């Protein structure tokens, strides 16, 4: 239910951003939570803070022409949404996936504003990408695409302006090619312009692991708030990319057992616990389908096109993509004994699924809180680049762990303060929103 004042604001956003359904969904989720904050702070309405936060500061859309290995020319569309810089330079990843369009980039950029605010670090919100499908493309084709993409993007980014990183389809390899082209055309060895870099050119320890590790830490805190732990729990993770892989690794270190993970073709079930080393070999090194896991691991099986949520578990960590977990999936998880869900991905549970979890009293950590460890560690990478320091793996991981605990406690305390104890969605939305709103007020009419 939307606060009366916010209903008009939301309807206007839908009217002015036609067809951008994912963006509408992300806005609605935040607006549904922040009514009590508007009641408490009439100055937000007076200064039209919600209207200002929901309108991107700037958006660029651009042509990305590139040539494949046979010499055929292709044209893709690139995007960067610079959504909000109240708290710091725009910060957020780049997604290369055929589904990318303005509505997806805007939903991701919008989420990023509040997520970044929750980290307590000085970063604003942005996001970008292209409707390019990297699947099946050679290394040379990926390089040419990244070079063409950066040939336009470089005009808009900089360590004090806008700092992209990876997301779906953009990992260490792509960040390397993007940084190489940035350096070449600007003649600046400006390491702080991108994060997720290799250690050899300004990268930070733990950034690769950070989103998945952070999500596992967040779930550990939610479980601890209920007197529970990962010890002896069966866990199901969707996806088998960056977030899923390192989420699984940390769950195992914390005493849980991940019994299933997936990719866009189906899921693998392994009752002995997913062998994360094998997943890394198949997905990171060989860039193969997850079905290869079942071919190589005795006792496991591959379920083609199956939904990983049908596997019984006590903890679920959706870590693939938006709207991948429906109300029906939520009901199945609950019937099988699921007590906690941590969103490794951005907006993976539909609004209806979240409602089912809420009604059943499942501990539900929304993506903007549970997966904030990645961008938080990116901010630590920026800090190291600025001071020309390199921190050890242990030191960086300790910082990440402390950030995730603080973030959990802040969402928890905010939910209590606003009369909705245990509601991490409300806690995250209100805490993130009020940080940005208060700073916006201090900065005047911007
Ligand atoms: N990387 C990061 O630091 C952060 C990422 N996130 C979010 O986490 C999620 C995963 O990102 P990341 O791990 O980096 O991406 P990757 O590209 O490394 O992995 C994505 C995984 O999700 C699967 N997937 C992607 N799209 C779909 C789809 N439409 N249907 C089913 N499966 C799909 C992929 O399967 P397949 O290989 O078959 O395509 C793959 O297993 C995204 O929502 C991203 O926005 C959030 C915070 C930070
Ligand atoms: O590290 C970053 O800047 C990007 C992280 C990201 O894209 C996300 O949090 O969704």
Read off the pLDDT of residues 291-339 as tens digits, 9 standing for 90 and up.
999 999 999 999 999 999 999 999 999 999 999 999 999 999 999 999 9
One domain for residues 215 and 355: yes
Q: Which of 170, 211, 320 gets mutated to test ligand 2 (max ligand atoms within 8 A of its CB)? A: 211
Q: What's the pLDDT at 39? A: 95
**Assigned domain for 107 exists:** yes
Q: What's the pLDDT at 5? A: 82
Q: What is the CA(49)–ligand 1 centre distance, in A? A: 32
Alpha-carbon gap, residue 198 to 324, rounded angstroms: 30
One domain for residues 221 and 341: yes
Reduced to 3 states, what is the DSSP secondary structure of residue 349? strand
Reduced to 3 states, what is the DSSP secondary structure of residue 391? coil
Q: Is the pLDDT of residue 108 over 80?
A: yes
Q: Is the dihedral of CA 194, 196, 198, 202 positive or negative?
A: positive
CA neighbor of 276 nearest in space, from 321, 229, 237: 237
Closest-approaching ligand to the CA atom of 104: 1
Q: Which of 168, 175, 291, 403 gets mutated to test ligand 1 (max ligand atoms within 8 A of its CB)? A: 168
- Residues lining ligand 1, Cβ inside 6 A: 166-169, 171, 211, 239-244, 263-265, 319-321, 344-346, 371, 374
Taking only the tens place, the pLDDT of each residue in 127-178 is 999 999 999 999 999 999 999 999 999 999 999 999 999 999 999 999 999 9
Q: Which residue minimizes the CA distance to atom 7 of ligand 2?
A: 93
Q: For the chain, give the percent of residues with pLDDT over 90.
A: 99
* Residue from 48, 106, 127, 197 carrying the catalytic annotation: 127
Spatial contact of 363 and 343, defined as CB atoms under 8 Å apart: no
CB atoms within 10 A of CB 3: 19
What Cα–Cα distance (Å) separates residue 142 from each residue in 79, 135, 176, 199?
A: 17, 10, 11, 21
Q: What's the pLDDT at 1? A: 75
**Assigned domain for 194 exists:** no
Taking only the tens place, the pLDDT of each residue in 7-30 is 999 999 999 999 999 999 999 999
**Assigned domain for 96 exists:** yes
- Planar angle of CA 351, 95, 285, nearest 5 degrees: 110
One domain for residues 220 and 171: no
One domain for residues 46 and 65: no
Global ipTM: 0.98
- Residues lining ligand 2, Cβ inside 6 A: 91-93, 112, 115, 165, 167, 195, 346, 371, 374-375, 378
One domain for residues 63 and 35: no
**Assigned domain for 203 exists:** no
Alpha-carbon gap, residue 127 to 129, rounded angstroms: 7
Q: What's the pLDDT at 4? A: 79
Alpha-carbon gap, residue 349 to 329, rounded angstroms: 9
- Overall pTM > 0.95: yes
One domain for residues 300 and 256: yes
At residue 356 the predicted structure's pLDDT band, cuts being 50, 70 and 90, is: very high
At residue 71 the predicted structure's pLDDT band, cuts being 50, 70 and 90, is: very high
Q: What is the mean pLDDT of the chain?
A: 98
One domain for residues 252 and 353: yes
**Assigned domain for 270 exists:** yes
Domain containing 267 equals: 209-370
**Assigned domain for 381 exists:** no
Q: Is the pLDDT of residue 234 over 90?
A: yes
At residue 228 the predicted structure's pLDDT band, cuts being 50, 70 and 90, is: very high
What H or E segment, with its residue span, contains residue 198? none
Q: Which of the listed residues 335, 370, 405 is the one where a domain comes to its end?
A: 370
One domain for residues 228 and 183: no
User: Do the annotations mark residue 242 as ligand-binding?
Assistant: yes
What's the total number of domains in the chain? 3
CB atoms within 10 A of CB 420: 17
One domain for residues 163 and 30: no
CATH number at residue 312: 3.40.50.720
CATH number at residue 126: 3.40.50.10860
Closest-approaching ligand to the CA atom of 118: 2
One domain for residues 63 and 112: yes
Alpha-carbon gap, residue 335 to 331, rounded angstroms: 6
Q: Which residue minimizes the CA distance to atom 5 of ligand 2?
A: 375
Q: Is the pLDDT of residue 2 over 90?
A: no
**Assigned domain for 385 exists:** no
Q: Is the pLDDT of residue 33 over 90?
A: yes
Alpha-carbon gap, residue 46 to 38, rounded angstroms: 10
Q: What's the pLDDT at 281? A: 98
In this structure, the dihedral spanned by the alpha carbons of residues 383, 384, 385 and 386, taken in order and rounded to 10 degrees, is 50
One domain for residues 219 and 307: yes
Alpha-carbon Rg for the chain in angstroms: 21
Q: Is the pLDDT of residue 3 over 90?
A: no
Spatial contact of 314 and 299, defined as CB atoms under 8 Å apart: no
Q: Is 127 a catalytic residue?
A: yes
Q: Is the pLDDT of residue 403 over 90?
A: yes
**Assigned domain for 223 exists:** yes
């Amino acid at each position: 239910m939307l606060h009366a004042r916010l209903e008009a604001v939301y309807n206007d956003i839908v009217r002015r951003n036609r067809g951008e359904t994912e963006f509408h969904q992300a806005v609605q989720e935040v607006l549904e939570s922040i009514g009590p904050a508007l009641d408490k702070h009439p100055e937000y309405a007076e200064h039209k803070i919600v209207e200002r936060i929901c309108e991107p500061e700037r958006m660029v859309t651009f042509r990305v022409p590139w040539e494949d290995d046979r010499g055929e020319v292709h044209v893709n569309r690139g995007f960067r949404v610079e959504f909000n810089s109240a708290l710091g330079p725009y910060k957020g990843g780049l997604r290369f996936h055929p589904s990318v369009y303005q509505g997806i980039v805007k939903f991701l950029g919008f989420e990023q504003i509040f997520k970044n605010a929750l980290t307590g670090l000085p970063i604003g919100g942005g996001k970008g990408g292209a409707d390019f499908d990297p699947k099946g493309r050679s290394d040379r084709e990926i390089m040419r695409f990244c070079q063409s993409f950066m040939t336009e993007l470089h005009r808009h980014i900089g360590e004090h302006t806008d700092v992209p990183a990876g997301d779906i389809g953009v990992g260490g390899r792509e960040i390397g090619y993007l940084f190489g082209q940035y350096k070449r055309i600007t003649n600046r060895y400006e390491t702080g312009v991108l994060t997720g870099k290799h250690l050899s050119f300004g990268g930070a320890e733990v950034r690769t692991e950070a989103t998945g590790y952070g999500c596992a830490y967040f779930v550990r805190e939610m479980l601890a708030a209920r007197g529970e732990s990962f010890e002896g729990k069966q866990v199901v993770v969707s996806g088998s990319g960056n977030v899923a892989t390192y989420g699984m690794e940390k769950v195992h270190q914390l005493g849980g057992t991940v019994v299933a993970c997936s990719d866009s073709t189906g899921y693998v079930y392994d009752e002995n616990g997913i062998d994360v080393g094998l997943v890394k070999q198949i997905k990171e090194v060989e860039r193969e389908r997850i079905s290869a896991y079942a071919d190589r691991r005795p006792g496991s099986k591959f379920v083609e096109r199956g939904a990983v949520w049908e596997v019984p578990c006590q903890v679920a960590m959706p870590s693939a993509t938006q709207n991948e977990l429906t109300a029906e999936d939520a009901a199945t998880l609950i019937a099988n004994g699921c007590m906690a869900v941590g969103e490794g991905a951005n907006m993976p549970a539909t609004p209806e699924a979240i409602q089912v979890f809420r009604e059943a009293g499942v501990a539900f950590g929304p993506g903007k809180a549970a997966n904030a460890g990645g961008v938080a560690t990116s901010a630590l990478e920026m800090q190291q680049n600025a001071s020309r320091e390199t921190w050890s793996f242990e030191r960086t991981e300790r910082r990440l762990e402390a950030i995730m605990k603080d973030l959990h406690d802040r969402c928890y305390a905010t939910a209590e303060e606003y009369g909705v104890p245990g509601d991490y969605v409300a806690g995250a939305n209100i805490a993130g929103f009020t940080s940005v709103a208060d700073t916006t007020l201090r900065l005047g009419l911007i």
